[in-house]
Structure formats: C-alpha cells, structure tokens
Structure 1
C-alpha cells in the first residue's frame, strides 16, 4: 500500500446526468456552448479543484442508432461539447451508462477521442472490456485519486473481449468478483477511490433495494466515495455514498411530482481518509440550461434533500448561505 499523505485535501465538484444531445445539441448549434451554464454556476465549479460528472451521451458526428428493440431515446452531442465540458473545469467523466453506445461503436470511440483531445479522462467505457473496466488516475490537490465507472444496465451495451462498450456489472446479483478485485487493487495504488455507479431504474424517488444492499459491499471493497446516477432524480446522501445526483443538464420532459428539473451539485472536500465536508448546492434546470436554484425551487430542493438524507441516517446538515453542509467527524 502506498503511504498516505498527511494534510493533503481536494475539493471536488460532482454533478449528475449530463446530456448534451438532442435539444441541447440544437442549442449548441444555434448559439454555441456559452449559454448552457449560468455564470453563477460556473463560478461555483471554478472554485473546486476538479469537476467530475456522468456524461449521458456520446460525443460524435458519426454513427447510427444502435438497433435495440423498444429503446426510446438516443443521445449524441456534437464534438464541441467536449470543449464545453473542459471549459467548465471537468477533469474526468464516467461513460458507464445506457447512452454511451447509442450511436454504435464508431461514435463511442469518437467520444473517447474527443474527450481525450479536450484533456478529459474517461472511465466506464472503452474499445474492449479490459479498457472499459480500467481505472483512471490523477492528482488533485496533492491527493492521488483513482476513478472507476460501472453501470448495472443495459447488458446489451457491455463491452466484450473484442467489442466496444461499457463496464457492465449486474449489481442486482451482488458485486462481481472483477469489480471487488478492481477496487481493492486500485485502493492499494492511490489515496482516494471514487466509484461512479449508474444503478437502478429511472424516475424513482429513492434508492431501490439492490442499490442499498451493494453500497456497503462496494465501500468494503475499497471505494472511498460512491457517486451514483441513473434515476434522473436526486436521492439522499451519506458521508460515503451519494446515492443519485439527479440531472445536471438536458432537454427532458419534467415530471410534476418528482421534479427532475431540480437537482444538486455536490461539493465534497476529501483527504486520504475520505470525505471531511459535503456541501449540496441546489440547481435548477431549464431547457438546455442549468443555473443556481433560487426562491421556491431552492426551498423545494433543500427540504426534499434534508428529508431524504435523514431517512438514510445522515441527519443534521446545517444551512450555510445557499447550500446544505455536513461536517463529518475525523473517523466513521
């Protein structure tokens, strides 16, 4: 095991489902990428040492829709989307989700190339299973971070020995050995392990049973922090598990009850022992635009998140300005 640094910390900004295709792509074509993110949100992200998110689309101007019967949605962003993310401070993304392969292997490989050219690391997808399951490592704020990305659906998108695709793990059946081994091995080589999990169904109000069941197993295997996505609705958080961050930017229809147009960006300060401080910053999603939440939207997010966290045992956040804050004790 590598020697852990003393006193080094990193402040990370973590965002949820980022979909830059369809109506967002049309907005980019009309007006460029400058109007996608508000100035206030840009300032918040710029104050972090790095930004990580779930990129829920491919980035390419090639490929064709993958023929999966019954699949309703296909998302492809233009190549300039990669530079838009880099300009936001994004250092790495997970591609382990149900849209990375929407326009076939050609577009997925383009996505890897466009993101790499923009200086953005990727996890969770690749030209074969070995690459899709491989970690990314980087140094942020004096800490050596290791990143892994997995998705529990769809199995049809799973990378194979000679087939591009995503890092698929059927978490409904437990944690597969390859993922346990990958987490343990990575933990030996870095100070902090971030595991990005695309898990559970869309449009549910709270973590489903298999998500709750496998989260402790993933932590025990070596994850320092789990960053969840998939539901399009934010769920509660604990010190080491952000069950779902909901949507970050998209053009989606809005559910009037679940309100997938209201989300959170999590700012977490970590050291080699894990999270020390978690801040949840409410955001509001318009069509192809995301901004800091205000007024009734801000109240709705803070009230719902406080209640959701209390149900998971993370009660007691304090309000600090426009955000909820948890200051974690030195040890679990």
Structure 2
C-alpha cells in the first residue's frame, strides 16, 4: 500500500491576496490545473502563513513589519483545493494574537481541515494529527525554530517551538519516535532557517538528520520563500505557494514547486515536483520558460545532495527503489 501526499509551502492568504477576491471581477486564487493536482492526491498538507480571523491586534509592537491575517471566507480557498491539514508552526500564527489563532483553529476544524503545530498550551501545540488514506495511517507533526516569543507555554497559547540552532531537543525526537511507533508513515513539517537563501544552512542539515534518525518517514521544510534541493526523505524547503510578495529579480521567489510524494511504510518511492508560478494573488502552472528556469535551478540544487532530477512532461521526477534508506 502507498499514499500520495501533495505538499505546498508558505501559503499566505492575507494582505493583497485577501483583497483580490473583493474586486469586481476577481480571478481565482489558484488555477484549475493546480486544483486538479491537489484534489487528486490522497492527502494535501500545506503551511498556512497567516491567521484566519476578523479579531485581534496586529503584532507590530513585537517587531512584525508584515503581520498577515485573512478573512474567514479565505478558508474556502483551502477547501476548494482539497486541503486535509495545515501546519501552523511558523512565525505568522500569532500575527494577530491568541484570539485570532484560536479563531483560525476553530474555523479550520469547522470546514474539516485539521491543524497542527499550534494550540492552547505546550502539549496541544506539540501534539500530532493522524490522517488516514490509501489504507495507511499518516502521523503529522509540526515545529518551528522561530520566533521564540511565539512558543506555547503551560497555559499559554502559541506554537510548537524548538531552537534547532542549538540542536534538536529530546522532547522532539521522542515525539517523532512515538508517532512513528503508532502510525505507518510519519511526516515532520518544520519551519526553519533564514529567509531568501537558496540552500539549507548547516544546522538545518543536522536537524534533518536527527528527525530521520528518530523515525521520520518524510521531512518537509519551509521558511526560505525559495525551494531547495531534496533527498529521498528530506524536502529541505518547499518554497512558497501563494502570496503578494515582492519578487527578487535573481532569486525568483515567484517561481516554485507543488510537491507530490508517493510513499509507504518504507519511505518515499517517488517525488514529483510540479513547477508553478506565483503571480500576485494567483498561482498557476509554470509556462515553458518558467519551467526551464525552475528545472535548471532544482537540478543544480539537488546535485550536491546526490539526487538526480528527470524532466517529464510538466513535472520533475525522482524515483527511488523500495526499501529503507
């Protein structure tokens, strides 16, 4: 038995993205071909980089120059894509405070989307969610290495936080081992590393090794706003999925990937990365020129990691033989 999980990185539905649907003749946030890919997967998990709420106060006082909040109606964009779970362990979960975080979690639950990586206290934030598909149980954990002041505490709402620069804490590896023991597949989603860098920094590499050693079937990272190279078990950075961000002319954070990973109890069998383009408040499949740029960039990023990328139709594919490793 195997399951195909669609994975997307930073998904920001606030600011200009939230305003776009209110225009007289808005275009959809995601193209029909994107929706076809995500809804056909057995599961779809993404990192939600904003609150879904009409309450709360922007966290400008805590040095957040870009607080993100989307109206509750934005949840419809997630259900249209067939999202099964979102990770909230990131630096934007508390942009509008604990009230907005509580609204986000409640709203998502109300439309059938599970959330992980944030909660009413430490234990709730660190708890996994269990998904089922393809005859397999999939355990999903989420953690972020920044910012420390957003960490949940005893009786204090917040996110699951671990200072990975200082090493992987025992509670986190123990939690991964526990989830792996109880499920067929264990996915660790982690918001880590600096932004706008094209490769994983050394402490991210070390943390990834620790997660895999603890039993993670797949590690999916995000935060850089750029996609990185990957190994069989570690997608170091998924890149962005939607936003209204300024585009870097060289790093091209407006070009990204939608990831489709087929895996079983022994690990990933195949990783397919579908090139996408992020226009302002709209995500679509990449055109031919954009596809070539993304393919070259991913091939270059994967080479030092020993991963060979094959171009196939509109996607980029890597397959591995069955078995552990």
TM-score (norm 2): 0.97
What pairs up with 1:131-280 in 2 under 5 angstroms?
131-280=124-273
Q: Does 1:66 align with 2:59?
A: yes
Distance 1:171 1:33, change over 3 A: farther
Select the residue among 81, 88, 91 that pairs with 1:88.
81
Alpha-carbon separation, structure 2, partners of 1:291 and 1:36: 9
Q: Which runs of 4+ in 1 moved over 4 A?
A: 31-34
Q: Give the structure 1 partner of residue 279 of structure 2.
A: 286
Give the secondary structure class of the aligned counterpart of 1:253: coil
| Consecutive unaligned residues in structure 1, runs of 5 or more | 1-7
Contact 1:231–1:244 (8 Å) recurs in 2? yes
Q: Give the structure 2 partner of residue 107 of structure 1.
A: 100
Q: Does 1:39 align with 2:6?
A: no
- Equivalent pairs, count: 324
Alpha-carbon separation, structure 2, partners of 1:30 and 1:137: 38
Give the secondary structure class of the aligned counterpart of 2:306: coil
| Consecutive unaligned residues in structure 2, runs of 5 or more | none
Alpha-carbon separation, structure 2, partners of 1:231 and 1:152: 13
- Residue 31 of structure 1, CA deviation: 6.0
- Residue 28 of structure 1, CA deviation: 2.6
Give the secondary structure class of the aligned counterpart of 1:237: coil
Q: Give the structure 2 partner of residue 323 of structure 1.
A: 315
Alpha-carbon separation, structure 1, partners of 2:145 and 2:206: 14
- Residue 34 of structure 1, CA deviation: 6.5
Q: Give the structure 1 partner of residue 296 of structure 2.
A: 303
Give the secondary structure class of the aligned counterpart of 2:45: strand
Alpha-carbon separation, structure 1, partners of 2:16 and 2:60: 22
Contact 1:17–1:53 (8 Å) recurs in 2? yes
After superposition, what is the alpha-carbon deviation per residue over 1:60-110, rounded to whole angstroms, capped at 9, x for unaligned?
Answer: 011111254432110001101112201101000100000000000000000
- Residue 25 of structure 1, CA deviation: 0.6
Alpha-carbon separation, structure 1, partners of 2:187 and 2:165: 21
Contact 1:133–1:167 (8 Å) recurs in 2? yes
Alpha-carbon separation, structure 1, partners of 2:85 and 2:216: 17
Give the secondary structure class of the aligned counterpart of 1:153: coil
- Residue 272 of structure 1, CA deviation: 1.1
After superposition, what is the alpha-carbon deviation per residue over 1:271-310, rounded to whole angstroms, capped at 9, x for unaligned?
Answer: 1111001101000000000000012111100110011011
Q: Does 1:77 align with 2:63?
A: no
Contact 1:197–1:228 (8 Å) recurs in 2? yes
Contact 2:11–2:49 (8 Å) recurs in 1? yes
* C-alpha RMSD of the superposition: 1.2
Contact 1:35–1:289 (8 Å) recurs in 2? yes
- Residue 29 of structure 1, CA deviation: 2.6
TM-score (norm 1): 0.95
Alpha-carbon separation, structure 2, partners of 1:32 and 1:180: 49
Give the secondary structure class of the aligned counterpart of 1:290: strand
- Residue 33 of structure 1, CA deviation: 8.2
